[in-house]
Amino acid sequence: MRIALDITCDEVAQHMDRILKCFKPGAKITVIVRSPQIPGDTDFILTSDDLDEVISAIQRQQQNHSKPASPT
């Protein structure tokens, strides 16, 4: 199982590197893959960032999307 995880991490990391080339230097990237229909610990997270910073970014996005649109 560990070998399969290592292979997956290597493959995902290569894609992450290619994606990061589209952004300014210093950008961080996080890939989250969830399988909520499968019980157990099946989440996959690979990041070039600190997880606390990732959580903060997700919370900011969640807050921004939950604000009602201003009337026009």
In the predicted model, is pLDDT for residue 70 greater than 80? no
In the predicted model, is pLDDT for residue 67 greater than 80? no
For residues 24 and 1, what is the distance between their CA atoms, to the nearest angstrom? Answer: 36
Name 32's bridge partners: 45
In the predicted model, is pLDDT for residue 61 greater than 90? yes
Number of domains present in the structure of the chain:
1
Query: Range of 62's domain?
Result: 2-66
> Beta-carbon neighbour count of residue 57 at 10 Å?
13
In the predicted model, is pLDDT for residue 29 greater than 90? yes
Q: Is residue 37 part of a domain?
A: yes
In the predicted model, is pLDDT for residue 15 greater than 90? yes
Q: Is residue 72 part of a domain?
A: no
Q: Is residue 71 part of a domain?
A: no
For the chain, what is the mean pLDDT?
90
For residues 48 and 2, what is the distance between their CA atoms, to the nearest angstrom? Answer: 20
For residues 34 and 65, what is the distance between their CA atoms, to the nearest angstrom? Answer: 21
SS3 state at 32:
strand
Q: Is residue 42 part of a domain?
A: yes
